[in-house]
Amino acid sequence: MKKWGFLLLVLVSIGITVVNRLPFFQNKIEIKHYEPDYLLDESGTSENHQMVEIAEELVYQGNLLLVNNDYPVHAESIKSDVVNLIKHSELTEGYGLLDSEIYLSEEVAYEFSEMIRAAEAEGVRYFSINSGFRDFDEQNVLYQQMGSSLALPAGHSEHNLGLSLDVGSTQMKMSEAPEGKWIEKNAWKYGFILRYPKDKTHITGIQYEPWHIRYVGLPHSAIIQEKNLALEEYLDYLREEKNILANVNGEEYTVTYYPFSTSKTINVPENNKYEISGNNVDGVIVTEYEF
């Protein structure tokens, strides 16, 4: 009997350890300004970083592009991995599609499916994708039908990127559905943001849309959530701070903004992983991480 009691204690201890290692269990986010501690020599390199030249096209590529009435989608902004989801059953488990013509970036679809699995584990499971990527012609038809109060003109909608999608509940309106509440509370953990929040209409110029989510990736979604920012505000924040250190549940990121108008070169790590994204306005953002 004592042996069984000891075994149970061991199993419980292991279970607690595993749970505490689950991503986002603690939802701990720390953000601060930092000054880079690497120094480049005359050749533009350092022990851990090197300087590389960038082309202007990079300003218009990536997951952090700002698209609205003032900043349109460029040809190079459209994600190159857009796929028809009905043909990729591995990306659509656990949720429905409004019709057979829902397109989305394959990368974004993968992250969305990961999020849906997490929601299902919490008992929230009636999701659908009602709209994803739209080409300019489709966006123009929608704009003509719905008008400027409910749609954006072709080339000025995030749907023209492949990074945004309209998520629905098969049971009720998203503003009332458990699916909508779960998305608003948890989407940031998987790199998504609620692009048009209720309290940011004066910033975005768009009415509250509890169904419209946008992929920006971590740690950006975590910082936006923690500081309660719209994407417009977040990009302004990066311009002001220039160097951000973000710790999201023990995983550390550095985020650096480079204005293209004054700098045609950026510092990138030689050993760590990193991503580069333009902001579609005036510069690029380098996100560095070690894991």
Active-site positions read: 209
Q: Which secondary-structure segment (H or E) carries 251? A: strand 251-259
Those residues whose C-beta lies under 8 Å from the C-beta of residue 120, and which sit 6 or more positions away, are 94
Residue 11: is it exposed, middle or buried by C-beta count within 10 angstroms (0-12/13-18/19+)? exposed
- The DSSP annotation for 55-91 comes to -GGGGG-STT---SSSSPPPGGGS-TTEEEGGG-GGG
**How far apart are the C-alpha atoms of 130 and 265, rounded to whole Å?**
41
Q: Max alpha carbon distance in the chain (Å)?
A: 75
Coil/strand/helix, residue 47? coil
The answer to whether 224 touches 189, Cβ cutoff 8 Å, is no
**Residues forming a β-bridge with 12:** none
Does the bond joining 219 to the residue before it have cis omega, within 30 degrees of 0? yes
